[in-house]
Structure 1
């Protein structure tokens, strides 16, 4: 017969832990009744209580190594009892105390609880196995869970011992690396301090503790049994003394896999609604067939040799058996007919808990390992002797080679195997705890952490099936140091506080942020601009003077109207070409002036519409050349008038200059100079279409880049020079005695012309986009209209309305 020994801490104090014993009994019973596993071999077990005391643990461990009443190391008097393996209990520190002794004897020790991070089991504890996954996966799961829900401001609670210290030292840097801040790290005192000194502790330390944890919405707890027992006792006693009788701190509790939601019998009045919506990690488990039925037939007198059952029964049902030695008033008598399924889940569960499932797998792992050894040896013995004999004896150290490589499917359908570090090759489930007012609860699997899964599936969670605490109205809680910085704002660190605490500053002008909680704003692309809220970029509008907009239509109307009027004036002059008023002051120059004005009005249309590679060079050069012809005609007419009057004096030498040759020479020379300037401009740096994205914030100015600003102002400067010379000459000849003398009209027209183009420069430079183009079109139309009106309106008045004044007598009259 083979024996396995079990150490269970505080089995009597917490009734729920008794399920671990029942899981052990159930698994051994199943194996012994299964002819396919260890045929002709029965498994047995001893249970020792450590009372979470190191001295008691060492004493009980030594008892495992001897079979006599006295502890005599390395001596066994009962050879029929063969201890194969030790299954360690819930407390990690106790398990490690045992491992230090059992490792000397190479006795396999299988722990079924989550332990604090230890060094490599392979190097330091070669005889130590854990039927639980590596705890590093749980830390990764906690970080993933917080990141998934965007919880960046959390508190950490752990016990005031080495395990709690390791938990904080391991988890805190991981949170920091992933942008999660800890509002505090709080340690719970030992349970003895709470029970022995609860009056002073509750009023001072407990108040301070619960005030501290009230700062956050999410609390990460290293949920070792002693930590949770202390925490619940503090809450229970604090609420009792405070008069509220209920623990009303509402938050999301994130528990590690050590938690099993168990209450001591004295805490049965504790309102478990405080943990409604809690999330916890748990070793992956499944429903074990037959276990619930096994529990339903339990009776206090049923299992012989189980001294824990009666203790459990009395504490769980708050009653005493009639033959009990305890004398307590006001307690009911236990009938033995009480039903386990009537107990609240915090005291006892009918389904196998995570720890019980791990213990169940531990027993089966040992059984399958023994079975392999027996089958292998029996096979060799049958081959050697021709028949099978009694099962051979197996020493504990011989189990290691098989246990390390064991892999089997349990009755729940899960694969059980150890990795290279002697830990279960599995993951963690994420459990959502839904509590009810009648002290019952439901465990809902809402996610999984599995290091063996493919990339992208290591962490999964179903947020839609999670039930949050009723205080949150079924809305995912926010766990932030302060509210989010929404798009349009950037985070600015608060001095003296963790990096998760920040102020929200609006983005500077011209910059945006399009995500929450960005550290810096950024500029849009050149062809985009920020919207009003500065949370997205909008494409800029193309800015150019179109034909269809009101301003463009107005200019088209004016240009065509002035062109039509110019054409009518030209027609009138051609029709009355033989009259004295037309023939005076050089009829050909008059025609040339009218034609150039006609073209000037039309060339303004080149400035409308989207600039192109053809229109850009043509705009300024056509305007410059045509206007130079118009001003040259005026200059020639003015000089002709002056020379004509000078030539009338007796003996004047100016007669040889009077005539069409001089006028044509002046016109041609002025035209050629301007044409040369324009040709040089086009050959060196011609105007081209350009997209100006910086001048106006919300618009892209589609414009004609002048290419060479110097050449542009040379063209304008030459026109100004011709206009000023014409103005000076006309001004000198304004009082010459002739009814048809144009000098005074030319003087006024040149005054208007120069005024318009002098005001053009500051107006042109102070505007942008299409309004800059509008200023130039307006200057072209206004100056052309000024020339047309000032010079030709008096003549048209005479020709059309006062034809009697259009005679040679008036032409030769002297005043």
Structure 2
């Protein structure tokens, strides 16, 4: 930004150049005065003349021109005390400089001040008058126009639109024009206004500062009213652009001018009433604000937070107009306070204006004291007569109000800027002498402790005070400074506010809290939206988030959807009730098997143990013990070793178990086949063959398991898909073919054993072990047939529990059906545990 750097070189060189050019208008061609000439309202002769353009009147009488004759001059009305104060501030600075021995010694400054009546056309006319001169010439002069320009610099105008018109006209003549209150950013364009400077910051900075102020208080849904001229339209355009960048939406933005017809003003009032925003940004001139307050008071439109520009926010006259407290609590930007010693007394001393016979003095005096002079044409018998000796001491009106001292100071600085530039050009030491050549020396100065300089666009440093309207107990508004804004600082440090008290809320939609996201409402501005809760597994941890972020696979959204929490890892553990019960069942089966083995070992010489192939019986009991114990590998957090061990141990131990049962079944069949005449079957299925068959069947399963573990072994796996909010820790099969090959081989042996046992079911009862094996195989097959659908359909850890249950159920079935009847005879019916009883023959019974 241009304002963030100091460019005294640009400003002073430009100002000196403009003054030098205006002095050098010497060798002109023949000149001639045309048209009516303008007389200044206030003037004083001097070696160097400065021009002043002010709106001593704020309006004029309307008239209808017929265009049949030359229009008469404007008849100005409504004396403007404020502009007289500006003129007095300019005269004060000129008198102070003339009395100085350090600045422009030997040169006296004079002035010519014109009244524009607030009309742009008249502003152009007086601007040309200051540039060309006003000498009345009866006939064309044959002499060259050797005189320089009428004035060397112009102070004024107050408003932006007249300044644009004047600067456009006098720009080609390079006559410096320094405004004290024209803030339109468009005037910084040096291609259009090469000779324009100002002592008040550009609206380029004010509009942005207002947007930052609105954003600071969280007002994202506001209305806007602007003066329908260059000041308001350009300022509001910049504010709107910045507001959009900051996420602020305008519900409405309406133009307003003090001369608007009543129906247009009513439309503005209706828009305000129908709006939902509670904050109104008013980029209005003080005159427009006064008219608007009057209209708002008629409708009692209170309860709004007003944000104002520098034109009215610090204006005591505007505060006095607000008798219905429409603007209470208003906040806005103002030029920093200033104090110039002696200026207040000088402004209030208007009598010296009469010494020069200025006609406007009479009108000013009559308006100040509400009286009339005898010689006044407008005097009536009903009004008090002016004596000319009235005193301003007890008068309270706009002229005695010094609240605009910062603006007076701007006029003061503008005059001093011209004086310092002239001082540099003239090369003043003890005396001044025009050199006719621009001195490139950089000029800057400090005035009353305030450094004065312009940047390359002719603008000063952009500093503002933040003013808050705080009503007092007696109803008078107190302008309280609550903060500062310095555009020369970094963006995050420009705005400084005191403790933020309770402020109204003005938003189209409330902020979306964490856990929700914004969805724009169709057909409405971006500040109007709905807050939609994030979906499961998604979060938003910031306010007004536009998206929800999906959590990582191992995390899940909490209940508020504002944070991702680690998913609960689920597996069958020893701590939960199901794990405890299954562990207890496994250990109980193990103890029961060990108990049976002890019984069989103690009675190993008894006929019933010997008759049932004691070697296979002990091997079967050993395998059953391993079956019960292998179920424990399925409980606990899965690991690489546990996943490989649980399936291979289960497969091998069960094959060993079934192989033993199959061997016992074949022994029963072969034993009774051997009793037939001429049969020698037993020599082909003796103890050696039995051991080899068990070993062979088991080795096949071992080979299958080795191939499975070598090619694609089971491994621990985190299942994120089965449950959204849980992680299922399970053992992936690795190779499904290997898993089903292990189960299929077990099933094949079980079916073969069941068939052989079924064939031996009608052998003699006293020695018939086959029917118990048949029952055990029937239970075994039933359990594992039902296991398959139960295992596939069970979720998470319950599938592991189903597999453990199947292992335990089939193991208990084998143990109970095969060994419990024998234990019953050994322990409770010892009389039947004899060789004769074992060799007895009974009538075969059907199963």
TM-score range for the pair, normalised by the shorter chain length = 0.7 to 0.9
Q: 1:336 aligns with which of 391, 399, 404?
A: 391
User: C-alpha distance in 1, partners of 2:706/2:828?
Assistant: 45
User: Is the Cα–Cα contact under 8 Å of residues 313 and 333 in structure 2 kept in the other structure?
Assistant: no
User: C-alpha distance in 2, partners of 1:401/1:363?
Assistant: 21
Per-residue Cα deviation, 1:736-780 (whole angstroms, up to 9, x for no partner): 213242222222222222222222222222233322222222222
Q: 1:252 aligns with which of 305, 308, 313?
A: 305
User: C-alpha distance in 2, partners of 1:466/1:8?
Assistant: 40
Which position in structure 2 is the counterpart of 1:24?
Answer: 90
What is the CA distance between 1:672 and its match in structure 2?
0.6
Which position in structure 2 is the counterpart of 1:279?
Answer: 331
What is the CA distance between 1:709 and its match in structure 2?
1.6
Q: 2:480 aligns with which of 420, 440, 443?
A: 443
1:663 pairs with 2:690: yes
Q: Secondary structure at the match of 1:443?
A: strand
Which position in structure 2 is the counterpart of 1:61?
Answer: 127
User: Is the Cα–Cα contact under 8 Å of residues 114 and 257 in structure 1 kept in the other structure?
Assistant: no
Q: 2:420 aligns with which of 349, 368, 383?
A: 368
The 1:737/1:257 distance shift into structure 2, 3 A limit, reads same
The 1:329/1:37 distance shift into structure 2, 3 A limit, reads same
Which position in structure 2 is the counterpart of 1:384?
Answer: none
Per-residue Cα deviation, 1:371-414 (whole angstroms, up to 9, x for no partner): 3334x354xxxxxxxxx5x533588xx78977xx5422231x33
* 1:82-101 equivalent positions in 2, closer than 5 A: 83-101=151-169
Which position in structure 1 is the counterpart of 2:445?
Answer: 408
User: C-alpha distance in 2, partners of 1:546/1:639?
Assistant: 41
Q: Secondary structure at the match of 1:118?
A: helix
Q: Secondary structure at the match of 1:83?
A: coil
User: C-alpha distance in 2, partners of 1:368/1:136?
Assistant: 27
1:4 pairs with 2:50: yes
What is the CA distance between 1:594 and its match in structure 2?
0.9
Q: Which has the higher contact order (CA 8 A, sep 6+)?
A: 2
User: C-alpha distance in 1, partners of 2:595/2:362?
Assistant: 126
* 1:298-377 equivalent positions in 2, closer than 5 A: 298=348, 301=351, 320=371, 336=391, 338=393, 349-374=401-426, 376-377=427-428
Higher mean Cα deviation, 253-262 or 356-365? 253-262
Per-residue Cα deviation, 1:336-373 (whole angstroms, up to 9, x for no partner): 35457x77xx9875455443332232222222222333
What is the CA distance between 1:723 and its match in structure 2?
1.5
The 1:795/1:419 distance shift into structure 2, 3 A limit, reads same
The 1:622/1:153 distance shift into structure 2, 3 A limit, reads same
Q: Secondary structure at the match of 1:155?
A: strand
Higher mean Cα deviation, 726-735 or 678-687? 726-735
User: Is the Cα–Cα contact under 8 Å of residues 84 and 108 in structure 1 kept in the other structure?
Assistant: yes
State how many pairs are aligned.
767
Which position in structure 2 is the counterpart of 1:232?
Answer: 293
1:783 pairs with 2:804: no
User: C-alpha distance in 2, partners of 1:690/1:330?
Assistant: 104
User: Is the Cα–Cα contact under 8 Å of residues 542 and 701 in structure 1 kept in the other structure?
Assistant: yes
User: Is the Cα–Cα contact under 8 Å of residues 66 and 76 in structure 1 kept in the other structure?
Assistant: no
The 1:165/1:351 distance shift into structure 2, 3 A limit, reads closer
Which position in structure 1 is the counterpart of 2:495?
Answer: 460
User: Is the Cα–Cα contact under 8 Å of residues 184 and 204 in structure 2 kept in the other structure?
Assistant: no
1:434 pairs with 2:470: yes
User: C-alpha distance in 2, partners of 1:261/1:348?
Assistant: 15
User: Is the Cα–Cα contact under 8 Å of residues 484 and 516 in structure 1 kept in the other structure?
Assistant: yes
Which position in structure 1 is the counterpart of 2:35?
Answer: none
Q: 2:662 aligns with which of 635, 642, 653?
A: 635
* 1:418-567 equivalent positions in 2, closer than 5 A: 418-436=454-472, 438-450=475-487, 452-454=488-490, 456-457=492-493, 459-462=494-497, 464-466=498-500, 474-475=502-503, 477-567=504-594
What is the CA distance between 1:104 and its match in structure 2?
3.5
User: Is the Cα–Cα contact under 8 Å of residues 521 and 530 in structure 2 kept in the other structure?
Assistant: yes
* 1:98-137 equivalent positions in 2, closer than 5 A: 98-118=166-186, 121-137=189-205
Per-residue Cα deviation, 1:696-721 (whole angstroms, up to 9, x for no partner): 22222222222112211111121122
User: C-alpha distance in 1, partners of 2:308/2:659?
Assistant: 96
Which position in structure 2 is the counterpart of 1:392?
Answer: 433
Higher mean Cα deviation, 301-310 or 428-437? 301-310
What is the CA distance between 1:587 and its match in structure 2?
0.6
User: C-alpha distance in 2, partners of 1:52/1:513?
Assistant: 57
Q: Secondary structure at the match of 1:123?
A: coil
Q: Secondary structure at the match of 2:445?
A: strand
1:606 pairs with 2:633: yes
The 1:357/1:747 distance shift into structure 2, 3 A limit, reads farther
What is the CA distance between 1:13 and its match in structure 2?
4.6
Q: Secondary structure at the match of 2:691?
A: helix
User: Is the Cα–Cα contact under 8 Å of residues 109 and 129 in structure 1 kept in the other structure?
Assistant: yes
Q: 1:191 aligns with which of 258, 262, 274?
A: 258
Which position in structure 2 is the counterpart of 1:382?
Answer: none
Per-residue Cα deviation, 1:268-287 (whole angstroms, up to 9, x for no partner): 4533732233232334x243
TM-score by length of 2: 0.82
The 1:114/1:802 distance shift into structure 2, 3 A limit, reads farther
User: Is the Cα–Cα contact under 8 Å of residues 15 and 315 in structure 1 kept in the other structure?
Assistant: no
User: C-alpha distance in 1, partners of 2:638/2:486?
Assistant: 63
Q: Secondary structure at the match of 2:334?
A: strand
1:211 pairs with 2:273: yes
1:223 pairs with 2:284: yes
The 1:55/1:454 distance shift into structure 2, 3 A limit, reads closer
Gapped regions of structure 1 (runs ≥ 5): 240-246, 379-387, 468-473
User: Is the Cα–Cα contact under 8 Å of residues 432 and 466 in structure 1 kept in the other structure?
Assistant: no
Per-residue Cα deviation, 1:606-637 (whole angstroms, up to 9, x for no partner): 22222222222111111111111111111111
TM-score by length of 1: 0.85
Per-residue Cα deviation, 1:245-289 (whole angstroms, up to 9, x for no partner): xx4332232223333443769x94533732233232334x24335
User: C-alpha distance in 2, partners of 1:47/1:60?
Assistant: 9
User: C-alpha distance in 2, partners of 1:332/1:435?
Assistant: 38
1:619 pairs with 2:646: yes
User: Is the Cα–Cα contact under 8 Å of residues 94 and 109 in structure 2 kept in the other structure?
Assistant: yes
What is the CA distance between 1:592 and its match in structure 2?
0.9
* 1:726-765 equivalent positions in 2, closer than 5 A: 726-765=753-792
Per-residue Cα deviation, 1:436-492 (whole angstroms, up to 9, x for no partner): 462322231424141x324643x3242x5345xxxxxx23x3332233333333333
User: Is the Cα–Cα contact under 8 Å of residues 159 and 226 in structure 1 kept in the other structure?
Assistant: no
What is the CA distance between 1:573 and its match in structure 2?
0.9
Which position in structure 1 is the counterpart of 2:341?
Answer: 290
The 1:56/1:455 distance shift into structure 2, 3 A limit, reads closer
Q: Secondary structure at the match of 1:129?
A: strand
Which position in structure 2 is the counterpart of 1:704?
Answer: 731
Q: Secondary structure at the match of 1:192?
A: coil
The 1:248/1:428 distance shift into structure 2, 3 A limit, reads same
Per-residue Cα deviation, 1:573-612 (whole angstroms, up to 9, x for no partner): 1111111111122111111111111112222222222222
Which position in structure 2 is the counterpart of 1:242?
Answer: none
Which position in structure 1 is the counterpart of 2:32?
Answer: none
Higher mean Cα deviation, 585-594 or 46-55? 46-55
Q: 1:51 aligns with which of 117, 128, 137?
A: 117
Q: Secondary structure at the match of 2:325?
A: helix
User: Is the Cα–Cα contact under 8 Å of residues 540 and 549 in structure 2 kept in the other structure?
Assistant: yes
What is the CA distance between 1:49 and its match in structure 2?
1.9
The 1:312/1:719 distance shift into structure 2, 3 A limit, reads farther
User: Is the Cα–Cα contact under 8 Å of residues 14 and 264 in structure 1 kept in the other structure?
Assistant: no
